[in-house]
Structure 1
Amino acid sequence: MDIDQHFRLQIEESTSLGDILPLLRDLGTGLVNHSQWIKVLHRTLICNDVPEENDLSDDAHHRCKFGKWYYGLSESDFKDDPTFIETGTLHIEVHNKARALLETKLSGKAVSSEAYDDFTDTANDFRVAVQNLQFFLISKVCAVDHLTGVWNRHAMSFMIDKEHERARRSGNCCVLAIMDFDDFKLINDKHGHVAGDRVLKTTMDFFVKRLRKYDIIFRYGGDEFLLLFPETNVEHASQLLERLRKELKKMPIMITDSKKVNISVSIGMTEMDGQASYNETIKLADHALIEAKADGRGCVRVWNMN
């Protein structure tokens, strides 16, 4: 499976930017440590140095710096990801083959060219696997809006199309909503764009913490956000968003160390129809948003397919 296919299969997972960046840094450090370990191993084999005790251990893959990081990750950190699992498998193989080379050397026998080539091939495969994992994580970063931490438009078309097809096949409800900040331009004009950015970030944090794990938020553009509610009907989604809209309106948002503002949002939504494309569904949700704006803003409106 190539990385693009793997990315498309995994992109629906709601991993935040804050989770991904530390992993990327750790993987980079892991490659540096791996290169250093390979260097020491070659010196041991060529210069007849005394092998490291850890390298002769049956659990050497747990004792090296990369292994301590890899096996120390929490259960929520990509442990079910195929690329992550492959990396771990190759890491074990590298250490097993390195141990075999060292044991051969200690026994006074010559290391065969076949065994050495097998080790170096596996070591290179491990490096490629780590680089593939880095590329996969970078792909996820590229699909995330760096300001708010929600998905951006690069991920939107695939993810909405996937949910649209799932709803069509299963017959289950799926709701799509568009949310727009009321008078957001006034905040930027009066308080500056940094204040506006804080409003967007704080508001998205507010929604992410209150929605289900499998509800999805995208930054559609500027101060417009698109929300997707799988296996939810418009009645339930509208009640939920109306409750959150009211709660948000009462919540002061810090835009400087000493100044707070209150904001309101308008929301338009519609239920996905198996007969309509997802682009048509977005247009219908946008019609409902226009209706919400026309009705005085700060409200939720539903576009009825019928």
Structure 2
Amino acid sequence: MYFGGIDNAVGQAIAILDLIGVFLNAIIGGTVARRMKFDAVGFMLIAIISGMAGGMMRDALIGNTPVAALVDPWYISIAVLGAAVAFFANLHGYFWELARFHGDMIILGVWCTTGTVTAIGAGVAWPGCILMGVLTATGGMVIREVLIGRIPRILNDQQMYVVPAIAGSITAMVLYNAGYPTAAIAAAPFVAFILGTAAYWAGWYVPVTMDNAPMNTWARYALGRMAKLEPAAFRRWRHTKSSHPTEDPLADDGMMPTKGEVRHALRGGVSPLRGPGPELKPATPDEFLGALYRVYVHPDGDDSEDGWARRREP
């Protein structure tokens, strides 16, 4: 059992780590199923999806069918074994989360590498190879969270999952195309693991949407210079039309706030999860509800009891 036809210890190690990744992600899927109070069938399905969905989607997209997860009996067998472990063992706590994260980063590096190299072998263009690496590494998590009714974490949690996968995929693609396949599958997982782990302990996050968009500011400045050339009748018509969407009482951003936005709205009242710095007092339930009010309703609103009373007055 070797990966990518590389008949040496590196190819053997990547193939074994690939199966270990299926087992670990099946366990992670099982812990999610436990929190959602699923039955044994739910445990098994969520575990299989967590461990194999990314690779299955990759193979289906590049035409590598039947997909590897269905051809090799080890994949489904190990995924079911991981589901059984999560079903009979309640894994939780700080040490489990620490081990889970670092194991997840190792497997993320392995899977972004296998996804990229598999796409290269199928003749996919270089942007598609990077995409297939990211899809292989994160696809199982995305499908799992969609099935349980959550917005996938890679979209709004600001965690470093996709960025390390991209870095690992680029490393694998460059070295493999340069004629060093063994170096590619050895170095790429290491690059992704180092970047993801460094981001975790250093507190690096993916940036969110900027409140003040620079391009809008530059456009307003440039168009302001040309405003004198606009006919008054056309300006009045344009302002009338542009005000309609904001007057719709049902208009909404349609997005849930991120954890970072809620923490920011707490005004420093929550203790940090990791990293240096003084200990802060944890937020109380009332402070948390006030933060939700500021995020959802009014950014500068008064969420005190007096403020609520004033808003109820006729």
TM-score tier after normalising by the smaller chain length: under 0.3
Greater helix percent: which structure?
Answer: 2
Between structure 1 and structure 2, the one with the greater Rg is 1
- Tell me the TM-score normalised to structure 2 length: 0.23
**Greater relative CO, 1 or 2 (CA 8 Å, sep 6+):** 1
Greater strand percent: which structure?
Answer: 1
